[in-house]
């Protein structure tokens, strides 16, 4: 059995990882009796941690107190938090630059030297690019994250890409971060289907609620699902193209917000992308620098053939003009 102090730290760490724990679950994790869990919970309360009893489940929840209690972070979590704070000023969340600096100063003051060296090494070789994309208010992100965590319905005003506004009601599932954009994946209550929303285009309404029973997510890989939703599914033309390079190589030039990649073998992959313009799709894939073959849609296949013939004809005209110019030049000597 662990020493009491070490066990208390472990109990506190568990309470911070998810919203609700039953007494039996905590006892199993800590390898102690439920009675010992109750005593340890009382000790945490005596130290100022607001551990609340969960009605009806004989469980516990770490609540919000008058003051922020100390958080327990392992080494990797501490490095991740420090790097996140250091890059927040140039990130995609507005209004947290100064507070990020204050929080970073507090964190680095108590970091062990081994972690400080890791963070400094990472920071010294990291060069941030200026953020020119849309930004998100941090309060919007935290409101959405809390609704996802607690399974509370979320209503918000939403602006589509053409500026049309509407009120949406969702069962929020997860936030997905793609480069400089944030997306919410949730079940649209009115449309009775899964939807993906740009977070910079929504304004949450309060209060949230009621609570809902979480649904099975639309795909095991929510990152891939979000990529398909924003790069392909929303458009009139949805292309399927074979690229004659590996998926890893293609990913260096194709962002997940503009297309999804599926490996075929070590030397080829499938690109799925969408657009409302056949010209845009053809130019997009042609300028990536890879050999490719278009399969779908039929309109794009025909459009690429027409465009290829037009470009070949233009090259032949240029070649013929050059030849005539060379012959004329030879005759005048």
Q: Tokens 């009675």 identify what position? A: 35
pLDDT tops 70 at residue 319: no
What was the pLDDT predicted at 299? Answer: 95
What was the pLDDT predicted at 320? Answer: 58
- Cα separation, 308 vs 315, whole angstroms: 11
* Contact predicate 140/184, CB 8 Å: no
- Cα separation, 69 vs 127, whole angstroms: 34
| Residue among 83, 94, 85, 186 at smallest CA distance from 133 | 94
Which range scores top for mean pLDDT: 47-56, 87-96, 154-163? Answer: 154-163
Residue 48: count of CB within 10 angstroms of its CB:
11
Q: How confident is the model at residue 244 (pLDDT cuts 50, 70, 90)?
A: very high
pLDDT tops 80 at residue 143: yes
Residue bearing the bigger pLDDT, 135 or 322: 135
Q: Tokens 């994790």 identify what position? A: 29
- Number of H helices and E strands in the chain, helices first, is 11, 12
DSSP 36-105: HHHHHHHHHHHTT--EEEETTTTEEEE---SSPPPPP--HHHHHHHHHHHHHGGGSSBTT-HHHHHHHHH
Provide the whole-model pTM. 0.58
- Cα separation, 292 vs 282, whole angstroms: 11
What was the pLDDT predicted at 333? Answer: 43
What was the pLDDT predicted at 59? Answer: 86
What was the pLDDT predicted at 97? Answer: 60
Percent of the chain with pLDDT over 90: 41
Query: What percentage of the chain's residues is helix, strand, coil (to nearest 5)?
Result: 45, 25, 30
- Cα separation, 31 vs 29, whole angstroms: 6
């Amino acid at each position: 059995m662990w020493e009491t102090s070490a066990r208390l730290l472990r109990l506190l760490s568990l309470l911070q990882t998810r919203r609700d724990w039953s007494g039996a679950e905590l006892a199993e994790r800590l390898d102690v009796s439920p009675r010992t869990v109750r005593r340890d919970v009382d000790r945490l309360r005596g130290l100022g941690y607001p551990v609340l009893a969960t009605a009806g489940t004989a469980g516990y929840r770490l609540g919000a107190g008058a003051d922020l209690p100390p958080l327990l972070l392992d080494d990797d979590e501490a490095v991740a938090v420090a790097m996140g704070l250091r890059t927040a000023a140039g990130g995609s969340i507005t209004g947290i630059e100064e507070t990020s600096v204050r929080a970073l100063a507090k964190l680095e003051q108590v970091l062990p030297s081994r972690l400080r060296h890791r963070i400094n090494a990472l920071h010294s070789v990291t060069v941030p690019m200026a953020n020119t994309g849309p930004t998100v208010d941090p309060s919007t992100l935290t409101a959405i994250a809390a609704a996802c965590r607690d399974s509370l319905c979320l209503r918000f005003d939403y602006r589509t890409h053409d500026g049309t506004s509407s009120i949406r009601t969702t069962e929020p599932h997860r936030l997905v971060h793609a480069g400089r954009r944030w997306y919410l994946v949730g079940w649209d209550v009115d449309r009775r289907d899964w939807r993906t929303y740009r977070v910079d285009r929504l304004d949450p309404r309060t209060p949230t609620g009621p609570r809902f029973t979480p649904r099975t997510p639309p795909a095991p890989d929510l990152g891939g699902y979000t990529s398909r939703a924003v790069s392909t599914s929303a458009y009139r033309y949805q292309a399927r193209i074979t690229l004659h390079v590996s998926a890893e190589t293609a990913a260096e030039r194709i962002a997940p917000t503009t297309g999804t990649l599926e490996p075929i073998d070590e030397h080829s992959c499938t690109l799925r992308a969408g657009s409302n313009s056949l010209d845009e799709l053809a130019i997009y894939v042609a300028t990536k620098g890879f050999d490719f073959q278009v399969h779908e849609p039929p309109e794009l296949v025909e459009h690429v053939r027409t465009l290829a013939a037009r470009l070949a004809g233009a090259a032949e005209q240029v070649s013929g003009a050059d030849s005539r110019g060379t012959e004329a030049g030879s005759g005048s000597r």
